[in-house]
Structure 1
Amino acid sequence: MGWIIIALLVGLVVWRLKPAKGVQTISTEQLKDRLKDQNVQLIDVRSQAEYKGRHIKQFKNIPLNVLSNKMGTLKKDQEVIVICQSGMRSSNAAGQLKKAGFVKVTNVRGGMSAWQG
Structure 2
Amino acid sequence: MPDENLLLWKSVNLCHNQYSFLVEGVGFFDGTFGPSVRLVSDAESVQAMCSSGDSEFFTVTKVYLISPPWMNRQNERLMEPLAEIRLQSSDKQPPIYEFVTMAGQTYTSAPQPNPN
| Same fold, TM-score > 0.5, yes or no | no
Q: Per residue, is there more helix in 1 or in 2? A: 1
Q: Which of the five TM-score ranges fits, normalised by the shorter chain?
A: under 0.3
Report the structure, 1 or 2, having the larger strand content: 2
TM-score, with normalisation over the residues of structure 1?
Answer: 0.24
